[in-house]
A and B are shown apart, each in its own frame.
Chain A
C-alpha cells in the first residue's frame, strides 16, 4: 500500500458523458501527478500539481482538466468522453516536485461504452 488513494476503483459510463476521478496523496506529499495507461499507449503523463498550482503539463487533452485543492487532494475531470478514453488512470504523489520517488495509487479503471 503506497498511501495514495484513488476513487472510484471502477467507472463505467457512456460516450459524451463527464466524470470526475479523485486522488488523495500520501500524508505530507505536496505534488500530485496524473497518468493515463492504455494498452496501446503505455503510461502517459498528463499533468502535475504542486501545492495547489499547476507545475507541468503533458499530453493532456483539452477535454480533460485537473485541480488540486487546499487539502492537497486532486481531481481529474474528463468530459465529452470518447471510446478511446477508456484506460487506467493513475495518480501519483511525491514529497516535493523534485522528490526522487513518485508513489502510485491503485488507479481508476474507466470504461466508456
Chain B
C-alpha cells in the first residue's frame, strides 16, 4: 500500500523561511516530487528528488531521505504569492510508468 502524510495547514510571515514536511510509506519508490497549486488552478512543478540529499532551485529547496521515507520543501524569503497548497507526490512503479501518488497537500498561508 501507500501512505503519504503532510501537515494540513501552515502559516508563516512574509520574508521568513518555512519548511513543509512529507513522510511516505510506499513500495516501488521511484522519485519524489513537490508541486505548488493555487486554488482552482493546475499543479505546477517545483522540485524532484530521486537520490538522498538536497536539491536547491532559487528560493525553493527540497530534501530527501529514502531510508527514513522523509522529504521536506524549504521556502525562503517568503512572498505573499507563495500562499498556496503544496503537494508532495511519490512516483511508483517501474521506470516506464509515471504514476504519481499525491499527499493531501499542505495549505500555506503567508501573512504580512
Contact = CB atoms under 8 A, between A and B. Distances in A.
A43 B42 contact: no
Contact of A97 (B43, B96, B104): B96
B45 A45 contact: no
B95 to A, nearest CB: 4
Interface string A41-63: 01111001010000110100000
A42 B103 contact: yes
Contact of B97 (A2, A56, A107, A109): A56
B102 interface: yes
Contact of B43 (A31, A44, A58, A90): A90
Interface in B75-112: 87, 89, 93, 95-105
Interface of B is mostly: loop
A71 interface: no
A64 interface: no
B98 A58 contact: no
B100 A104 contact: no
Contacts of B100: 33, 35, 45, 102
A56 B98 contact: yes
Contacts of A96: 96
Contact of A43 (B87, B93, B97, B98): B87
A102 B45 contact: yes
